[in-house]
């Protein structure tokens, strides 16, 4: 059973930064894609950023230039650096991994508010 454990969420003021981490219970090499999704209250879950084993990245238009996804295969961890945060970035952020199956973390809350 694969486990994904997110951390790093919290309350931050507009313009601030956070770094989210997602620790996997097995080698991240085993996943062809890892990603971060988010879900705000009353909205559907949406893709924020994704990264492949070849380090090809993909971002939602709303976060391009502000967020950066990266993976450290030696630590079995994927990161999401969130900069220039806006109130509309407030959501629960979920880690996702896929090989022949899909796996989700439990989520971490990010709240952007003054």
In this model, does residue 28 exceed pLDDT 90? no
What rounded mean pLDDT belongs to the chain? Answer: 96
Confidence category of residue 29, pLDDT binned at 50, 70, 90 = confident
Tell me what the mean pLDDT of segment 48-60 comes to: 95
51-54's contacts with Cβ under 8 Å and 24+ in sequence apart are 51/78, 53/29
Question: Which among 10, 2, 4 is positioned nearest to 23, based on CA atoms?
Answer: 4
Rounded Cα distance between 4 and 96, Å, is 8
pLDDT digits (tens, 9 = 90+) for 69-84: 999 989 999 999 999 9
């Amino acid at each position: 059973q694969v486990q994904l454990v997110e951390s790093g969420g919290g309350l931050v003021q507009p313009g601030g930064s956070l770094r989210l981490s997602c620790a996997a219970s097995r080698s991240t090499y085993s996943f062809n894609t890892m990603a971060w999704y988010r879900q705000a209250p009353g909205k559907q879950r949406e893709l924020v950023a994704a990264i492949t084993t070849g380090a090809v990245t993909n971002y939602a238009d709303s976060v391009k230039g502000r967020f950066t996804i990266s993976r450290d295969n030696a630590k079995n961890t994927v990161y999401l650096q969130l900069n220039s945060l806006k109130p509309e970035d407030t959501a629960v952020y979920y880690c996702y991994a896929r090989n022949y199956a899909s796996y989700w973390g439990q989520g971490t809350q990010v709240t952007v508010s003054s």
